[in-house]
Amino acid sequence: MEALLSKQRFIWLHSVNFGMFFYRVIFHQATIGVPHFWSLAVEEHFYLVWPFLVYLFSLKSLWKVCLLIIGLAFLARCVGVYLGLHPFYFTLTFCRFDALAIKALLATFAHENTLVKLLPYAK
């Protein structure tokens, strides 16, 4: 219990995934006690960044930003596999942004009605 309390800053800052990485890879210690919060941390990081991207880029260029994020996340995961950072290439924020960026890309297309135009029964 004391070990969990000493590492609670990662929980409060929604950075459990980074805490897992630092304690295991850099400090060679046991990971923090709540590793199942890594996905919540990834979502929180994305939702902190995404509104600024929507504000900075036009709707027409936002899909390019989404594709760039998807490519960079895939590349980051490939680098993690190459470096043998298992299981952290599944849990680090930069490696997991692709799933959320795909959803954002679909939302961007839906906002532009691009998805409706691609449907075969739409006129």
- Examine residue 113 and state whether it is found in any structural domain, yes or no: yes
d(C-alpha 94, C-alpha 77), whole Å:
8
Burial 78-87 (b: 16+ CB within 10 A, else e): eebeeeebee
pLDDT (tens digit per residue) in 17-76 = 777 767 666 665 666 666 677 777 788 888 888 999 999 998 889 989 999 999 999 999
pLDDT (tens digit per residue) in 67-123 = 999 999 999 989 988 988 777 777 788 888 899 999 999 888 887 776 666 666 655
pLDDT at 33: 62
What pTM does this model have? 0.72
d(C-alpha 42, C-alpha 91), whole Å:
8
Question: What phi, psi does 53 have (nearest 5°)?
Answer: -65, -40
d(C-alpha 42, C-alpha 95), whole Å:
9
Give the residue numbers spanning the domain of 17. Answer: 2-118
pLDDT at 52: 93
> How many domains does one find in the chain?
1
- Examine residue 31 and state whether it is found in any structural domain, yes or no: yes
- Examine residue 123 and state whether it is found in any structural domain, yes or no: no
